[in-house]
């Protein structure tokens, strides 16, 4: 973000008070109430979280101790026993919610399905029993590679029910990326579908699974459970592949939820970091259940009659916490949509809002910016009066997009809730509470009760108002990640050592830069590490560089983000070719396609620039700061004295 953009944000003077009628019936009704909750949690975190855990969740056995904190290792609700699938399903069946819609699903081609809590419970039990039949046991890892269909949620809940650990891989990742993630997690089984519909095309997921598992290169995978979605002809590997619609005929719909330890692993979710390989973020059962439940309830003011639609994919943490676990644990009705806005139907999101009377809508700034571009006529042609709250996540929202969302979609009636959080945090961390917090366009406002967030320098000292610093969290919280799968050292290094502990105070380093304004509002400035954010998707520059250098023509590659009006950032790759290769348009295209095959379409570089050299320090480190300036066409500013060969810059500029 440029300095002028930062300045304009810091001088943002518009403040939007929570609407009085909204506040009157909200879970948290005023700023004073928020402050009281915040202070209570800060003074007595164990009392605060313990009471909520007791009130909001069912436990098979109560914990001995709320928190055991041996930094950076946290154990929450020590020795407590529960099952998140029980909390999401069974406990609602003894109430009127039994026949309440749990999941309203809309397929891209226009087909739809609604599952009540009782029906969802039945399907989850059946899938859990099928998994057992396939040999999946407590503690085994199950890969899930699915389109956005109800069975994606059913698969996650079925794993949780029997204590298997799910590892969902976004359906847009390539076979190669899937292969790496299944191997990394040593998955024993995979749940997938023949395919799905995306942008009016059929995507063939099972084919990708076959490629990922080819020649027994993921030896841990013994079984593949395949859901029929498209009905296209699909190869089934004898002895390995099983159709869900056939297997379910032979199992009962009764499968009691396994009592799990609060700290039993619930899922692994891979996410990009600043080094080459994605990290397997590990979340456990009790703390995650409580945290995804409470954050949704308070920050989106979830009420019994709400129809909640989160547009994320279940392949990301937003889908985990706010399509599946948070809404179901609260007994809410959630909407799930297979499609995305596309040229044949740019107003499809507003159709879904109108058709189902969505009351809470949650999407990303990149989507909002593309709605602005598509034109107001699309939302204006639909009845959006059911909406009462609008959420946003994934990247900093620019004030212009915030205002459009507030005015055009929310009719100046709906609070806008900008939620800052991460795969690692399990749930919202910095967010307004809509009945309590006055909002400023572009600020995620204040920390959630129980979250001790701050903006500090590299020594851990708080920076002054309006000065840039690093966003950190200074106390453990129930939804925090517990480790990097099978790599505790990487967990420690990536999150707890950037800002070294001081006098027993540990700092969770989020990887984001931030500022606080004179009123204490937090403004997230974006990543300060080598992670870029393209359309709200997190991508490690080194991951893309590794993909590029795995092509025989590439000797060296450096990838940076460049500001993009719609996507937030776009990917620019600087590539040095091996001597025998010529920089041609064809090779340029081929390299982009190569990245798509190695990672997935979300990582396709917007631009590849061939060059003979890259700006490096005398010790051989690529100077990305300079590449970023070059990519965005800015003047090179700041210190270049450590640059080894100044001529490189002129060459690169000339070639741009
Ligand atoms: C960015 C997504 C500004 C941030 C839930 C973070 C945001 C990364 C916001 C995590 C927001 C997410 N304002 N930036 N409201 N929400 N981010 O793990 O850089 O996919 O570190 O989790 O997205 O991305 P992740």
Q: Indicate which atom in ligand 1 lies nearest the CA of residue 531.
A: 19
DSSP string, 182-226: HHHHT-SEEEEES-EEETTEEE-HHHHHHHHHGGGSSTT--EEEE
Helix axes 541-549, 585-598, angle to 10 degrees: 120
Tell me, what's the pLDDT at 641? 75
Is any ligand 1 atom within 6 A of the Cβ of residue 522? no
- 531 CA → ligand 1 middle, Å: 11
Whole-prediction pTM: 0.95
pLDDT value for 429 = 98
- Give the Cα separation of 117 and 137 in Å (integer): 25
pLDDT value at 2 more than 50: no
Assess whether the C-beta atom of 329 lies below 6 angstroms from ligand 1.
no
pLDDT tens figures, 189-204? 999 999 999 999 999 9
**Range scoring the smallest mean pLDDT among 117-126, 127-136, 355-364, 617-626:** 617-626
Ligand 1 contacts CB of residue 396 (under 6 A):
yes
CA of 420 to the centre of ligand 1 (A): 6
Across-strand partners of 31? none
Percent of the chain clearing pLDDT 70 (strictly above): 98
Q: What is the pLDDT of residue 8?
A: 52
Answer yes or no: is the C-beta of 79 below 6 A from any ligand 1 atom: no
Determine whether the shortest distance from the Cβ of 50 to ligand 1 is under 6 A: no
At 4 the pLDDT is 45
Instruction: Give the number of residues written for the chain.
Output: 656
Alpha-carbon distance values, 125 to 92, 132, 159, 225 (Å): 15, 11, 10, 15
Asked if residue 577 has its Cβ within 6 Å of ligand 1, the reply is no
The Cα–Cα gap between 166 and 144 comes to 7
Look up residue 250 and give its DSSP letter: G
For residues 652 and 560, what is the distance between their CA atoms, to the nearest angstrom? 14
Q: How far is CA 199 from CA 314, 343, 636, in A?
A: 17, 8, 40
Is residue 510 within 6 Å of ligand 1 at its C-beta?
yes
Q: Which of these, 405, 355, 411, 346, lies nearest to 385 by C-alpha position?
A: 411
Which ligand 1 atom sits closest to the C-alpha of 510? Answer: 21
Q: Please give the distance, rounded to the nearest whole angstrom, from the Cα atom of residue 28 to the centre of ligand 1.
A: 24
Cα 148 to middle of ligand 1, angstroms: 22
- Report the DSSP beta bridge partners of residue 115: 103
Does the CB atom of residue 495 touch ligand 1 within 6 A?
no
Q: 625: pLDDT confidence band, cut at 50, 70 and 90?
A: confident
Ligand 1 centroid to residue 318 C-alpha, Å = 10
Quickly list DSSP for 335-381: EEE----BTTBTTHHHHHHHHHT-SEEEE-HHHHHHHHHH-THHHHT
pLDDT at 617: 85
Flag the least confident range among 88-92, 333-337, 628-632.
628-632
């Amino acid at each position: 973000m440029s300095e002028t953009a930062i300045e304009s944000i810091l001088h943002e003077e518009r403040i939007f008070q929570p609407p009085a009628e909204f506040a009157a019936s909200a879970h948290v009704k005023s700023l004073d109430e928020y402050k009281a909750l915040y202070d209570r949690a800060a003074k007595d975190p164990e009392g605060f979280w313990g009471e909520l855990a007791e009130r909001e969740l069912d436990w098979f056995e109560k914990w001995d101790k709320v928190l055991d904190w041996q930094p950076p290792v946290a154990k929450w609700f020590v020795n407590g026993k529960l099952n998140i699938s029980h909390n999401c399903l069974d406990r609602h069946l003894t109430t009127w919610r039994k026949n309440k819609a749990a999941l309203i699903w809309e397929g891209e081609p226009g087909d739809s399905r609604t599952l009540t809590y009782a029906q969802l419970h039945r399907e989850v039990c059946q899938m859990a029993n099928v998994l057992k039949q396939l040999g999946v046991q407590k503690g085994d890892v199950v890969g899930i590679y699915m389109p956005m269909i109800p069975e994606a949620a059913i698969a996650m809940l079925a794993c949780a029910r029997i204590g298997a650990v799910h590892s969902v891989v976004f359906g847009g990742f390539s076979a190669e990326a899937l292969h790496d993630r299944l191997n990394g997690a040593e998955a024993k089984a995979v749940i997938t579908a023949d395919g799905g519909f995306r942008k009016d095309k059929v995507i063939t997921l099972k084919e990708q699974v076959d490629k990922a598992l080819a020649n027994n290169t993921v030896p841990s995978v013994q079984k593949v459970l395949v859901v029929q979605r498209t009905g296209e002809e699909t190869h089934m590997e004898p002895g390995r592949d099983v159709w869900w619609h056939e297997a379910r005929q032979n199992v009962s719909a009764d499968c009691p939820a396994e009592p799990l330890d609060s700290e039993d692993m619930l899922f692994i979710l891979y996410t990009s970091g600043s080094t080459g390989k994605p990290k397997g973020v590990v979340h456990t059962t009790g703390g995650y259940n409580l945290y995804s439940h409470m954050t949704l309830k308070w920050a989106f003011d979830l009420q019994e009659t709400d129809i909640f639609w989160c547009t994320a994919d279940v392949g990301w943490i937003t889908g985990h916490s706010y399509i599946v676990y948070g809404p179901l644990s609260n007994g809410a009705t959630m909407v799930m949509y297979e499609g995305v806005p596309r040229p044949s139907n740019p107003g499809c999101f507003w159709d879904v809002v109108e058709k189902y009377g969505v009351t809470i809508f949650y999407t990303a700034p990149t989507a909002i910016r593309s709605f602005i571009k598509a034109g107001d006529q699309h939302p204006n042609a639909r009845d959006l009066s059911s909406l009462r709250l609008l959420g946003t996540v994934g990247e900093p929202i620019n004030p212009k997009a915030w205002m459009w969302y507030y005015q055009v979609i929310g009719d100046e009636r709906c609070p806008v809730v900008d939620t800052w959080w991460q795969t690692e945090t399990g749930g919202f961390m910095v967010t307004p509470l809509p009945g309590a917090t006055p909002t400023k366009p572009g600020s995620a406002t204040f920390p959630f009760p129980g979250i001790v967030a701050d903006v500090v320098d590299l020594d851990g000292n708080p920076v002054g108002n309006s000065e840039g610093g690093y966003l950190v969290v200074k106390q453990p919280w129930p939804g925090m990640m517990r480790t990097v799968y099978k790599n505790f050292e990487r967990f420690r290094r990536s999150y707890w050592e950037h800002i070294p502990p001081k006098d027993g105070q540990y700092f969770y380093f989020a990887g984001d830069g931030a500022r606080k304004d004179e009123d204490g509002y937090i403004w997230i400035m974006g990543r300060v590490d080598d992670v870029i954010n393209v359309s709200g998707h997190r991508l490690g520059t080194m991951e893309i560089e590794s993909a590029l250098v795995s092509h025989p023509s590439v000797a060296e590659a450096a990838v940076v983000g460049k500001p993009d009006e719609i996507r937030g950032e776009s990917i620019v790759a600087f590539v040095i070719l091996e001597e025998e290769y010529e920089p041609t348009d064809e090779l340029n295209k081929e390299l982009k396609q190569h990245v798509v095959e190695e990672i997935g379409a979300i990582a396709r570089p917007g631009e590849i620039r061939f060059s003979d050299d890259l700006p490096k320090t005398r010790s051989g480190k690529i100077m990305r700061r300079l590449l970023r300036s070059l990519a965005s066409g800015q003047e090179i500013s700041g210190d270049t004295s450590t640059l080894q060969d100044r001529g490189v810059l002129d060459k690169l500029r000339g070639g741009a």
